[in-house]
Structure 1
């Protein structure tokens, strides 16, 4: 059989690749990004897009627009669902400007990878397995639920809670504002609360609602729901609502999340009531004292709303708030912080050592030592970043606040890194260098802990061919 004549290719463009070639085609270069890089990059891209939108979309401001530093600050605070502000959202932005901020909050709260996966699925495509795994976080905890279904449920839970919250707030706020005027604040606060963002269309956040227990309870429920984590919410949904036989019990993760959340809320509630009963709460009726002290326990879980002036609170209140801000919400949620499970695992580790037990345990299950090590590493790194942030802010200083109290700087730094948004009133007064430090802290706080945890997983799961000889060190 005569073979067709093929002219010799002298350029090499059409010649087949040799077997064993490892050079990937150009279109696959983006696939070589590490998961942590892809996760961080999605937030960075959204911050850049938000900054450009705040700078160049017309009609966003009542008067003059934001400068570049303030635009980056506002975009970062919204995307990282922090809530720290350098301008008053209520008076500085038009309704269109507030809507842009709200879109950034929603995108940042859900995460771009979740939305990307949903959009690709709606168009009939299939996102990469890596994108899906990054979008839903600790996927291995729910092997019974398909990843695509879990991603859809994340979006469904978000919009369902936000819709119910907005409708409920609208019912409570209509007598106070009017049926037209209550629509936008209800939607804005519901989204901001569930995403644990803390942005408000009121100049004083929720201080004017100190005497509205219904408002405080609704916002509190949204904050706690948003901070539980989508994995836990999916388990509760499958176990108690759908009665799925594959979910005979809640996982240790969800049990630990629920138990720790309840402990922190109740203990914080009691302590805040004790600290401020004769202080900021002294002139309130009994019901308002109880609801406001409850909200003081809820909002440091990275929500950022406030019904009191933290600049006038006692040092005990502010220090307890700092501790709760460091702990934050739960993994896989819209909240920041070290996470409730990290706090709980460190407590379980200490308790097991006091009882001379080899392993930490909870609910008749032992926690893997690798998980305990990751929690310890995350705690050390997060604490180190906050300490460094306080040092840098103290070193830079502000000319008009040269004698700024240490607790004020610690409060601001902790709030920024743990994406809380509470402040003792100094955020608008920060100098430009200090604002950039806070911007970096907010970004690291939103993307860093997850990336650090992922890196620790890789490092701890890699076994070397040898280990160095042991030699003991005295502790204590």
Structure 2
């Protein structure tokens, strides 16, 4: 009897999605020149979109046709929601059942365990995503339609809303959102979508249930929710102050004080895997770029649409090191002792990520000899 292997489903689904995306992007109708992308460029673009990385080797707005852009947008949405989430939803819709182990793996992947119905959890995620992306589209449509016309503006708003919520960073504009640096609507809508997507569905669901579904409003937020909110707030605040301080006399010098603050805030939020920019990244000071790399490495939160080692992992590693320095017997976070298994897992993620990062840098230095530093 055939048994679903959750691990194979996750890996296999990502591979299948990337391969399909690659094939579609090589089709002549995917590009404006009618030739399609080369296999290498198509594979890179499909992987970047599915893994919501946002790195590009060709101009998304100028290179791809509507079909090609729709393929990229679909890959972003699938990657942002998670292949496992969509696989579970569609398997359930066609009457297939996951084993108990499969359900546990899905809930572990989503980092949420409180709902008895897995389908209910997946439905909540899909509804949250749809509602937030529609709201984002409507808000972005106002400035986009004003500049680009009704249909083109609506499409651009739709594309950027999904790209922002999924923390993908793909843009239809060659300079990303630099031309909208002075638009408060665009800046705060995109920042809001990035933050909401990056906080993670477990946090969003916990806030929703505590604020709107539970009759007893006195019930407190979960430990993970409070930790994610505090760490995220700290990273945004620290990032804003850091960028403002080091770029006020450099890249921000010609901007008004309001624009300086908004640009600093935007650039503090977007590096944590979103990838949009309203400033010329190449013109930033080296110290600012280094700080942005730290934010990129930390990334978003568990169960969110972003990447990185996650905010909770970074917090546990930091407070564990602090506890070691203070010679404390246990690691305490927000008044709670962190289990040793959780600490071990956090350090494993941290060092594996660092190892992969170092290996990737070495490979780039070996094979890209003329790459500027």
Settle same-fold status: TM greater than 0.5.
Answer: yes
Please show how residues 424-463 of structure 1 align to structure 2 within 5 Å. none
- Work out the CA distance in 2 between the residues paired with 1:328 and 1:321: 10
Residue 219 of structure 2, aligned match among 230, 233, 248 = 248
Q: How many residues align?
A: 372
CA deviation after TM superposition for structure 1 residue 124, in Å = 4.6
CA contact 2:211–2:217 (8 Å) conserved in 1: no
Residue 325 of structure 2, aligned match among 325, 343, 354 = 354
Match of 2:30 in 1: 60
Residue 317 of structure 1, aligned match among 288, 292, 296 = 288
Please show how residues 235-384 of structure 1 align to structure 2 within 5 Å. 235-243=206-214, 245=216, 248-384=219-355
CA deviation after TM superposition for structure 1 residue 138, in Å = 5.4
**Which structure has the larger Rg over C-alpha atoms?**
1
- Secondary structure, aligned partner of 2:290: helix
CA deviation after TM superposition for structure 1 residue 146, in Å = 2.7
Match of 2:108 in 1: 137
CA contact 1:54–1:60 (8 Å) conserved in 2: yes
CA deviation after TM superposition for structure 1 residue 104, in Å = 0.8
Residue 73 of structure 1, aligned match among 34, 44, 49 = 44
Residue 385 of structure 1, aligned match among 342, 356, 361 = 356
CA contact 2:177–2:278 (8 Å) conserved in 1: yes
- Work out the CA distance in 2 between the residues paired with 1:193 and 1:129: 34
- Work out the CA distance in 1 between the residues paired with 2:353 and 2:111: 25
Structure-2 change in CA distance of 1:48 and 1:138 (3 Å):
closer
Residue 147 of structure 1, aligned match among 106, 109, 118 = 118
- Work out the CA distance in 1 between the residues paired with 2:343 and 2:218: 26
CA deviation after TM superposition for structure 1 residue 135, in Å = 3.5
Match of 2:185 in 1: 214
CA contact 2:115–2:121 (8 Å) conserved in 1: no
* Structure 2 stretches lacking a partner, 5+ long: none
Pair 1:82 & 2:53 matched = yes
CA deviation after TM superposition for structure 1 residue 247, in Å = 8.6
TM, length-normalised to structure 2: 0.95
Deviations 1:232-287 (A, max 9, x none): 11111100122254992222111111110000000101000001111111111111
- Work out the CA distance in 1 between the residues paired with 2:47 and 2:356: 18
CA contact 2:191–2:270 (8 Å) conserved in 1: yes
CA deviation after TM superposition for structure 1 residue 160, in Å = 1.0
CA RMSD of aligned residues (A): 1.8
- Work out the CA distance in 2 between the residues paired with 1:78 and 1:339: 19
Deviations 1:203-232 (A, max 9, x none): 111111111122111100000100011111
CA deviation after TM superposition for structure 1 residue 116, in Å = 2.1
- Work out the CA distance in 2 between the residues paired with 1:187 and 1:223: 14
TM, length-normalised to structure 1: 0.75
Q: Which has the larger helix fraction?
A: 2
- Work out the CA distance in 2 between the residues paired with 1:229 and 1:132: 19
Please show how residues 162-241 of structure 1 align to structure 2 within 5 Å. 162-241=133-212
- Secondary structure, aligned partner of 1:182: helix
- Work out the CA distance in 1 between the residues paired with 2:99 and 2:48: 29
Pair 1:158 & 2:129 matched = yes
CA deviation after TM superposition for structure 1 residue 155, in Å = 0.8
- Secondary structure, aligned partner of 2:150: coil
